[in-house]
Amino acid sequence: MDDLFVKPGNQERGWNDPPQFSYGLQVAGSTRSPLTKRGPPPPAAGLQAPPPCGDPSPDQQATSPHLHGITPPPHKMTTPTHRITPPPSGVTPPLSQATSSPCGSRLPPPPKGPDSKAPCGPRAEPDPQPEPDLQAVSSVLAEALEACRQNVSRQVCEDIAKRLRLLEDSWTSGRLSSTVKRRMNALTLEMKSSHWSAADDIHRSLMVDHVTEVSQWMVGIKRLIAETRNLSPELLAFSPADPVQPEPVGN
Amino acid sequence: MTTYQEFIQQNEDRDGVRFSWNLWPSSRLEATRLVVPVSCLFTPLKERPDLPPVQYEPVMCGRANCKAVLNPLCQVDFRAKIWACNFCFQRNPFPPSYAGISDVNQPAELMPQFSTIEYVVQRGPVAPLIFLYVVDTCLEEEDLQALRESLQMSLSLLPPNALVGLITFGRMVQVHELSCEGIAKSYVFRGTKELSSKQIQEMLGLMKPAVSGQQGRPAAPQDPSATCRFLQPVHRVDMNLTDLLGELQRDPWPVPQGKRPLRSTGVALSVAVGLLEGAFPNTGARVMLFTGGPPTQGPGMVVGDELKTPIRSWHDIQKDNARHLKKSSKYYDTLANRTAVNGHSIDIYACALDQTGLLEMKCLSNLTGGHIVMGDSFNTSLFKQTFQRVFSKDYSGEFRMAFGGTMEVKEMGVGGTSQWKVCSLNPSTTLAMFFEVVSQHNAPVPQGGRGAIQFVTQYQHSSTQRRIRVTTVARNWADAQSQIQHIESSFDQEASAVIMARLGVFRAESEEGPDVLRWLDRQLIRLCQKFGQFNKDDPTSFKLSESLSLYPQFMFHLRRSPFLQVFNNSPDESSYYRHHFVRQDLTQSLIMVQPMLYSYSFHGPPEPVLLDSSSILPDRILLMDTFFQLVIYHGETIAQWRKAGYQEMAEYENFKQLLQAPLDDAQEILQTRFPMPRYVDTEHGGSQARFLLSKVNPSQTHNNSNGWTQEPGAPILTDDVSLQVFMDHLKKLAVSSST
């Protein structure tokens, strides 16, 4: 799901900048109950020395640093209070594969990627899906624009057309990330099926998550969706690019 | 039988109300003797997914100076179709549409579970919501670029039919016309000259020319076709405005070495307020100010343009060395009052490494219900996401923000009402109300034995619908002389702590710091003297009942909090913290007073622990939530393991999960909180551990820590008094016959 991701904050510009959540994650909101419990209250009215907190483990002393190395954490296979023998002195425990990127140990699924100056998408994995075809995307948009020409002013249509050209330019010159391309494809599929709210939602998520890449032309798409959804269904006839695409249903 | 805890919680869940006392003393004298005033925290638009609004208008009492709304406390005669107002006892006939009601067919507003109910007002014109961006162009290019993008993005987040406008400022102030033509036009104002509202409207061409011969008549404002030029529907101008924003340049006036840019924030805001005042009074509107530094010229300037003169600190203010403070605070206060009268609100988004003048400008948001967001740069996740959340939607896909609120409070027997304007609201906005018991001492308990209060909140919903939310609550009166123990057990220590804290903050804004602490301590001692059980002059005998037992601890943490302690914070930071403190709901406010601390270890599941130095242990991870910061602190051993990389090894999978657990819980908070908190990941010995160390009760310090004992926890290097010492002193003072 490439619309649900977390990026690190911008530590260069913001002190202790929190991580950045994608639009999808923010809209989903919180499903767990909030942390609103306090610690055990001190004895009523007495408030003498605070009660012991947590469970002071009897082998607390085992957690103090070992003289020649450190005692490793409790092993998964054993009960928590059982310690495995620390490694022999002088030999450092084998370190595993490369420690994660600076943001890796601090955040939920850390994306491996460049600094957050450029918007980084989720972890760069070998892309299982083929990249969407620009032709498929722009044909849907062009058809929608044509349908609008009857009812919408010339000025506005020209404006939208200008932005569609910008989109195509950015796409062909490789300035768009594959996430953006995939989501534009999804957007046009929703438009073909007349799922206007879904298309609108995708446009919004792209504006929030990838504003640097899309801001120049996305507002044209936004306007196109807004205008086409007001058209009567017979004016809209998307030519099926692929026989298996569903027939456009009136909104 | 419900305990008071359950009763309190149920009432909060249903009505959004938490009273300091849930049994009310029946005389004024007894009420003052209770120390904590009879008061409540009220969240007018508390989110109630189970309460859909009803599509009809409220039925109101016919008496002219009453107008209370029909509610479950009213007596009803279903046969005669008459109801008796429980506030003024007037008998009112039901309107014709209620002809079909009966005992078994009651309208919702009479049922107890609808003590809070929301009505949709059908009549009246639909007024659009307005968003007026006021943008500082004296920013670094990187910041300006980030701000441009955020503003462009926001056009996709605005309510669909909203009107939007743009004013930019630096040395000059520019009001941009948002026509659909190809040419960009703007009206330019000098940043140094204070203008009246009328002058601004005239210069912008918003006034119709006065007809000759009609002297004394003010020129008719609100020429709708004229105002269209500056405030246009977003769905019509989004493309042009996107381009306009994309082409925004930095303020062209060069800034000499050793100088600050000339920023005319005061005039920019005045133009914005004047524009809205003339064009759209009394409709929901937000002025959103984005600024990257302090105002340095014109009315409302906070500091001069010479960098060698630093912006005022608390020290300067205490030594009366802040030249511009009084004058500019007054300027913004006047502006804020005008804005509030018009039903509009002002947000301040201030992103800079140094102060921006929030101390002087805070009234703009505080008086109008607007937001204050403080960040380091517009190119940070903190600003970007907090700004996105201004436009967040609730469970039913509707915007959380609400506009143009007026809240009325009606109390029994007084006959009058009190009204407040809350120009901007959201589901967590919480007001504190203070009540005065007016009955004379020894007067009999009022008939019926119960007092009632009704809150009527009218507001403009984000869908532009006008709505009315009515909450009616009642509590029993009690004779303080004979029933003091019952009154004591009805004490809500959490609500009282927050209410007293708000009173403290209010005082702190006008009094000297030490005086406020003395006042707070005096109230606490008086409360302990009144309700503590003890033998005179014997501190060890002192006890507090359960309903008060946590209260002293809250007061202890409050005294150390940034709301009352300005040491180590700039005036802007203090203003920012206080701004959020006095508007949040009870749970969040308590977090601010006494942060939450959760512990993660191998010894068991995650658990809340005492905010105490003894909770800091080597083999634990702590998650602290202060509302403004989320701190994850790794104990010494955990830090060493992490550094050694054990989490990467397959057989230490459980350690990896342990490291992840607090991150997951932190994420829950980060995803929803407004404003977004800072996020601190630190460990034993780390410099950022100070955020945790300064908040915990320092039960162990370098002064009292004993090398021989095995007491857990890390000693804190501080001279601050610990909770134990504080309590000892409190007990001594409470039991002393000479206090």
What's the CA gap between A130 and A122, in Å, rounded?
17
Structure tokens at B573: 């930071």
Judging contacts by C-beta atoms under 8 Å, the chain A residues touching residue B658 are 73
Q: How far apart are CA B426 and CA B555, in angstroms?
A: 28
| pLDDT, greater one: B637 or A3 | B637
Q: What is the mean pLDDT of the segment spanning A93-100?
A: 33
Q: How near does any CA of chain B get to the CA of A84, in Å?
A: 12
Task: Choose, out of A219, A221, A225, A228, the residue to mutate when testing the contact with B (most B CBs < 10 Å).
Answer: A219
Rg (CA), chain B: 28
**Scanning every residue of chain A, which has its alpha carbon at the shortest distance from the alpha carbon of B711?**
A52
Q: Which of B239, B400, B637 to mutate to test the interface with A (most CBs of A within 10 A)?
A: B239
Average pLDDT, chain B: 90
Can you give the pLDDT at residue B120? 94
Give residue-wise pLDDT tens across range B485-523.
999 999 999 999 999 999 999 999 887 778 999 999 999
Residue identified by tokens 């994608």 is A22
Please give the Cα distance from B150 to A116 (Å, whole number): 16
| pLDDT of B71 above 90 | yes
Question: Can you tell me the mean pLDDT for A95-116?
Answer: 33
Token pair, residue B276, equals: 């809205």
Q: Are B654 and A76 in contact (CB under 8 A)?
A: yes
Taking residues B245-254, what's their average pLDDT? Answer: 94
Contacts of B571 (CB under 8 A, 6+ apart): B312, B313, B314, B317, B355, B358, B359
Contact of A67 with chain B, judged by CB distance below 8 Å, is answered with: no
Residue A60 confidence (pLDDT) above 60: no
The confidence band for B274, taking pLDDT boundaries of 50, 70 and 90, is: very high
Write out the two tokens for B452. 């009632």
Whether B594 has a pLDDT exceeding 90, the answer reads yes
Q: Smallest Cα–Cα separation from B576: which of B689, B671, B675? A: B675
Residue B100 has pLDDT above 60, yes or no: yes
Instruction: Provide the pLDDT for residue A84.
Output: 38
Angle at B389 between CA B386 and CA B391, to 5 degrees: 135
What is the per-residue DSSP string for B576-588? HHHHHHTTS-HHH
Nearest to A70 among B625, B632, B641 (CB): B641
d(CA A85, CA B296): 66
State the Cα–Cα distance between residues B132 and B378, nearest whole angstrom.
18
Q: Does A47 touch chain B (CB under 8 A)?
A: yes
Asked if B143 and B351 count as a contact pair (C-beta separation under 8 A), the reply is yes
Q: Can you point out the beta strands (E) in B285-371?
A: 285-291, 344-351
- Tens digits of per-residue pLDDT, B651-692? 999 999 999 999 999 998 999 899 999 999 999 999 999 999
- CA dist., res. A96 & res. B648, Å (int): 6
Write B64-67 long-range contacts (CB < 8 A, 24+). B65/B415, B65/B416, B66/B90, B66/B410, B66/B415, B67/B417
C-alpha to C-alpha distance for B413 and B65, rounded to whole angstroms: 12
> Residues A186-212: what's their mean pLDDT?
93
Using a 10 angstrom Cβ sphere, with 0-12 exposed, 13-18 middle and 19 or more buried, the burial of residue A86 is middle
Tokens read off for B543: 């006890």
pLDDT of residue A88: 26
> Chain A, 225-244: which have a CB under 8 Å from a chain B CB?
226
How far is it, in rounded angstroms, from Cα A140 to Cα A183?
14
Query: Which residue in B has a C-alpha nearest to residue A49's C-alpha?
Result: B724
Looking at residue B515, what DSSP letter applies?
A: H
pLDDT (0 to 100) of residue B159: 86
* ipTM reported for the complex, 2 dp: 0.85
Summarize pLDDT for B399-451 with one digit per residue, the tens.
888 888 888 888 765 545 688 888 899 999 999 988 888 777 766 666 568 88
Proportion of chain B above pLDDT 70, given as a percent = 93
Q: Which residue among A37, A63, A76 sits closest to B619, beta carbon to beta carbon?
A: A63
| Residue ranges with strand state E in B366-493 | 372-375, 402-411, 417-425, 431-434, 450-460, 466-478
Strand order in the sheet with B91-93: B75-77, B82-84, B91-93
Contact A50 B546 (CB under 8 A): no
Average pLDDT over residues B205-232: 59
Please determine, for residue B564, whether its predicted confidence score (pLDDT) is greater than 90: yes
Which pLDDT score, from 0 to 100, does residue B417 have? Answer: 61
Task: Name which residue leads in pLDDT, B274 or B720.
Answer: B274
- Per-residue pLDDT tens digits for B370-405: 999 999 999 999 999 999 999 998 877 888 888 888
The pLDDT tens digits of the residues spanning A17-26 come to: 999 999 888 8
A45 in B contact zone (CB under 8 Å): yes
A188-202, A232-246, B121-135, B268-282: the lowest-pLDDT one: A232-246
Write the residue in A39, A56, A73 that is nearest to B646 by C-beta.
Answer: A73
Among candidate residues A174, A175, A144, the one with its CA nearest the CA of residue A161: A144
**Residue in A10, A30, A92 closest to B672 by CB:** A30
Rounded distance, CA B655 to CA B536, Å? Answer: 54
CA of A186, closest CA in chain B: separation in Å? 18
- The answer on pLDDT for A28 being more than 90 is no
* In chain A, % of residues over pLDDT 70: 55
- Which is more confident, B205 or B326? B326
pLDDT given at position B446:
63
Whether A85 has a pLDDT exceeding 80, the answer reads: no
Task: Write the pLDDT tens digit of every residue in B157-181.
Answer: 998 789 999 999 999 999 999 976 6
Please list, in sequence order, all residues whose beta carbon lies within 8 angstroms of the beta carbon of residue B268, skipping any fewer than 6 positions away. Answer: B134, B167, B169, B173, B191, B289
Please judge whether A34 and B668 are an interchain contact, meaning their C-beta atoms are less than 8 angstroms apart.
yes
A18 Cβ neighbours under 8 A, 6+ residues apart: A9, B381, B382, B385, B630, B670, B676, B677, B678, B679
Q: Are B161 and B465 in contact (CB under 8 A)?
A: no
- Per-residue pLDDT for A126 more than 60? no
* Model pLDDT, residue B720: 81
Closest partner CB to A220 (pick from B239, B637, B697): B239
Q: What is the mean pLDDT of residues B721-737?
A: 92
CA-based nearest residue to A102, from A89, A90, A116, A92 = A116
A119 contacts chain B (CB < 8 A)? no
For residue B229, give how far its alpha carbon lies from the nearest alpha carbon of chain A (Å). Answer: 18
| Minimal C-alpha gap between A74 and chain B (Å) | 8
- From B57's Cα to the closest Cα of chain A, the distance in A is 31
Closest partner residue to B671 among A10, A21, A97, by Cβ? A21
Tokens of B605: 């599941």
